[in-house]
Structure 1
Amino acid sequence: MNKEKLAKEIIDNIGGKENVTHVGHCMTRLRFNLKDKSAVAIDPIENLDGVMGVQFSGGQFQIIIGPGVEDLYETLVKLGDFGEQQGQTIKSNPEPAAKKERFSFKTILDKMMDTIAGCLTPILPILIVAGLIKMLAALVGPSMLNVASESSDIYRLLTFVGDAGFYYFPVFVGLSGAKKFGSNQMIALLMGVILVHPSFVEIVASGEPFSVFGIPMTPSSYSSTVIPMILITWVMSYVEKYLKRFIPTALSTLFVPLLTVLIMLPLGLCLLGPLGTIIGLGLGNGLILLRELFGPFGVAIIGALYLPIVATGMHLPLIATALMSITTLGYDNTVLVGALVTVYTSLAISLGFMLKSKDPQKRSLGLSCFVSQSLGGVGEPTLFGIQFRYKRTIIYSMLGAFAGSLYAGFMNCAVYFVGASNFMAALGYTGGASSGIFHGVIACGIGFVVTFTLIMVFGYEPKTAVSKEESEPSVIQELSEEQ
């Protein structure tokens, strides 16, 4: 793609750079918060070379790009003068106070989704790297290949490095949350470090009463947590704004950060931190309740619906809930169990599409989608390039995911870490009983075989659509070029 041209056309068609209040990206999408959503020219953006799709979701305008999104984002940030770091709040373009959305459940849900996505998206690389390193530790350790003992340097190294990626969640979320809410990033990092400081950990572990400026503190461990720091950085942004209104500019450099920390210590340690812990436990217990009520069928339903949820861009809250389960229980046996199966159903769709297609351009599209998913762990090319264009293929994926997830549910499979969504995704089942990875691989195999069989037997489109398709080769050419 021509990055400069595409970035300029995107900015022009979203209402100009003045319409952007926040911009970021995930693994495959540009994510915009806009002042005026009606200013977006959706059709022209959808027709741009390099754009796979667009949608409004969770209060954001999302443009699906695919694996090249990071390079495009950097170009877009330079052209729009938006800032230099991922997840940049545009301070020169604050959201207009006059345009307040009407209070409703939908607006609340949108803001929650936007907040969680904005705070978690920037730290996804940490989660993936930490998950892969934990996977390597499990592979070489005594529970699998037994190449390294638990006392060996390599096993201990991989273990503590992988654990560090999860243990310091409050620090990582502090930085991304500060970017999202526009507060002081360094002070947010300090607040995150306070929550995991060894002295604070000892105070909590002792169980003895402790007060913050005379206010009783509820002892709670914040390592590997997400919600507490989201709440702390959110409230901290308002505290900073309030202080800047009353403290003279000449004194603000010293007193705004100092007073912010002194105010946030009792708020964070005595109110927001414990509240975030309660919310996190509630979400985790919700997953446990879902499993208890519906058993393996609850896992199968989530697995079947996971790809459509990804398409809406609302999968990050689900992942956040699963991560809370992993950090508190050591595993997730509800959300990610089915999510891993969908990786292999997507592989089956792209491979089957390539084999069933007679058109060279379609075969190229199928091959590129297969490579993107199997090696790069990026599923959006298959989702938007094939499954949402040929609607019956997503039905095949959902059926395959249901079958594989149902087997995993009956076998009590659980996921112990989040890694890349490529051909090694099934290794996420490694960590518990030795039979867990065995049944997890079988579940993923069932998902692949069911999906692949369906597309090979029934095809990816009705036979009556062949003539129409052949009369529109430019559409296929465009999709192939996007990949």
Structure 2
Amino acid sequence: MNLKKQAQQIIEQVGGKENIQAATHCVTRLRLSLHDESKVNQEELEKLEAVKGSFSTNGQFQVVIGQGTVDKVYKEMVELGVGEASKDDVKQASSEKMNPLQKAIKTLADIFIPILPAIVTAGLLMGIHNILAQEDIFYDGQSLIAVHPQWADLAGIINLIANTAFAFLPGLIGWSAVKKFGGNPLLGIVLGLILVHPELLNAWDYGNAVKEGRVPTWNLFGLEVEKIGYQGQVLPVLLASYVLAKIEVFLRNRIPDSVQLLVVGPVALLVTGFLTFIAIGPLMFGLGNTITDGLVWVFDQFSAIGGLLYGALYPLLVVTGMHHTFLAVDVQLIGSTGSTFLWPILALSNISQGSAAFGVWLATKNENLKGLSVSSGVSAWLGITEPALFGVNLRYKFPFIAALVSSAIAGMYITIQSVRANSIGVGGVPGIVSIQNSGWISFIIGMVIVIVIPFVVTYVMAKRKKI
């Protein structure tokens, strides 16, 4: 295709060069910050040969082009007079148009997405360890390492590597959060590690320690401060990181450069540390446990409704970008209860979107759509649903609805069956390794639901509509 002509037509259909505030691209999409999105002619835009779909999210208008082609189209747009910008420039321009809720969601996403590879890797490795160490997988009433003890040390090393990201999770969150809030990320790491220091009472032992009356304390001039850690907790380190970053920035702007190294870091860390152990930690620890207990109670008392609603709502959360907030919820659930009942529904929802895209792939005679559908379907089955969602399913609507309905049905079923995940893994077909082995059969039945229903419904509808 004529890439220069395609670039010119894209510019025209998004309202012209004067409507483009900033433009960049990722692996598959143009990312545009527009002055006025109402000027976009989305219907004509998506008729262009180079365009596989388009959508607006978090203040950005994104145009799906495809890997390999998007950077060429972007270069043509720059030559046509569109100003070249970085991803940070576009994010900054887009954030100015967000409401407070969108900004809060984006903040959480910006904190958790950078540490997601570590969490997912840990989840997959924990899944491998569980296969080796859990009973009734290979042998009745026994684990693989019990029958073959020569595998025990290998399983132990895998478990050590896998548990590290979760054991020191506040360190990862502290690094990412302080960086996001404008502070020194190294101080964020130190703050996070302070909250899981070995001298502190482990958070997982806190309940028993309270019952037995053996919670250690510091005596700060008559003020009793509990000497506990915050392993597996999200909220304490998030708020503490915000406080640390703001104190650091405040001091950095007022302390002479010559003595900043001696003053800024020590003062910021000391003040934040005292505030965290005295107030921030206990308050956020209580709030986090209240939220966790509330979710557990709802899903225990109304499991069918909870699973149905979350299965139906999750694709909509992805569309709005709000799904990132639930990563923090999953992490909090795992830290507090040792497992999560939300993440298995997420994994099935992702599979359903991929299955709907595969239905389009088999039914359509459009070669461009075939290529987009099969590649985005594979991506969704491996946990990345945006290409399938925005490039195929939402574009034709009925594939998205078929996937949403199947996700709701499967979510209701696996929640009734008490399917839980020990960790967060790849949110698609490989996610089964993160599921507790007692729920494997139910999870596989859920997978059958989200593979068959959206695929068949989408295929039949696509044939009828002749897309």
Bin for the TM-score computed over the shorter chain: 0.7 to 0.9
Question: 2:373 — aligned with what?
Answer: 366
Whole-Å Cα distance in 1 between the matches of residues 176 and 65 of structure 2?
Answer: 22
Instruction: Report the alpha carbon displacement of residue 365 of structure 1 after superposing the two structures with TM.
Output: 2.3
Q: Which residue of 1 aligns with 2:412?
A: 406
Letter in 2 for 1:256: V
Deviation by residue 1:70-102 (Cα, 9 ceiling, x = unmatched) = x98xx99xx7578xxxxx799xx8999xx9x9x
Relative distance call for 1:381 and 1:245 in structure 2 (3 A) is closer
> Which residue in the other structure is 1:347 paired with?
354
8 A Cα contact 1:116 1:316, kept in partner: yes
SS at match of 2:275: helix
CA–CA distance in structure 1, aligned partners of residues 30 and 271 of structure 2: 35
Task: Give the match's secondary structure for 1:224.
Answer: coil
- Give the alignment of 1:229-378 within 5 angstroms: 229-333=237-341, 335-374=342-381, 376-378=382-384
Structure 1 gaps of 5+ residues are 18-22, 83-87, 470-483
Deviations 1:184-204 (A, max 9, x none): 111111111111111124797
Can you list the C-alpha shifts for 1:131-181, whole angstroms capped at 9, x where unaligned? 111111122334324443477111111112111111111100111111110
Structure 2 residue matching 1:377: 3-state secondary structure:
coil
Contact 2:361–2:373 under 8 Å retained in 1: yes
Does the 8 A contact of 1:174 with 1:189 survive in 2?
yes
Letter in 2 for 1:148: I
Asked if residue 459 in structure 1 is aligned to residue 451 in structure 2, the reply is no
Following the alignment from structure 1 to structure 2, what is the Cα–Cα distance between the partners of residues 182 and 24?
25
Matching residue of 2:109: 117
> 1:474 aligns to what?
none
Residue number in structure 2 paired with 1:439? 442
Which residue among 384, 401, 409 is the counterpart of 1:395?
401
The structural deviation recorded for 1:388 is 0.6
Name the residue aligned to 1:141. 133
Q: Which has the larger radius of gyration?
A: 2
Q: Does the 8 Å contact 2:21/2:93 carry over to 1? A: no
Q: Note closer, same or farther for the CA distance 1:160–1:389 as it changes in structure 2 (3 Å cut).
A: same
Q: Which has the higher mean CA deviation after the structures are superposed, 159-168 or 292-301?
A: 292-301
Mapped partners of 1:350, 1:308: distance in 2: 17
Identity level (%): 23
CA distance in structure 1 between the partners assigned to 2:427 and 2:93 by the alignment: 36
- Partner secondary structure for residue 280 of structure 1: helix
Q: Residues of 1 paired with 2:384 and 2:324: CA distance?
A: 15
Cα–Cα, structure 1 residues 304 and 391, in superposed 2: closer, same or farther, change >3 Å? same
Q: CA 1:422–1:260 in structure 2 vs 1: closer, same or farther (change >3 Å)? A: same
**1:447 counterpart letter in structure 2:** V
Deviation at 1:317, TM superposition (A): 0.9
- Compared CA separation, residues 288 and 222, structure 1 to 2 (3 A): same
1:450 aligned residue:
453
What's the TM-score, normalizing by structure 2? Answer: 0.78
Indicate the SS of the match to 2:339: coil
Whether the 8 Å CA contact 2:315–2:349 is kept in 1: the answer is yes
Q: Distance in 1 between matches of 2:337 and 2:462?
A: 41
Indicate whether 1:130 and 2:138 are aligned.
Answer: no
Matched, 1:53 2:61: no
Change (3 A) 1:295 1:16: closer
- Distance in 2, Cα, partners of 1:451 & 1:329: 33
What is the CA distance between 1:28 and its match in structure 2? 8.4
Unaligned runs of at least 5 residues, structure 2 = 76-83
Counterparts of 1:266 and 1:237 in 2: how far apart (Å)? Answer: 15
Letter in 1 for 2:418: N
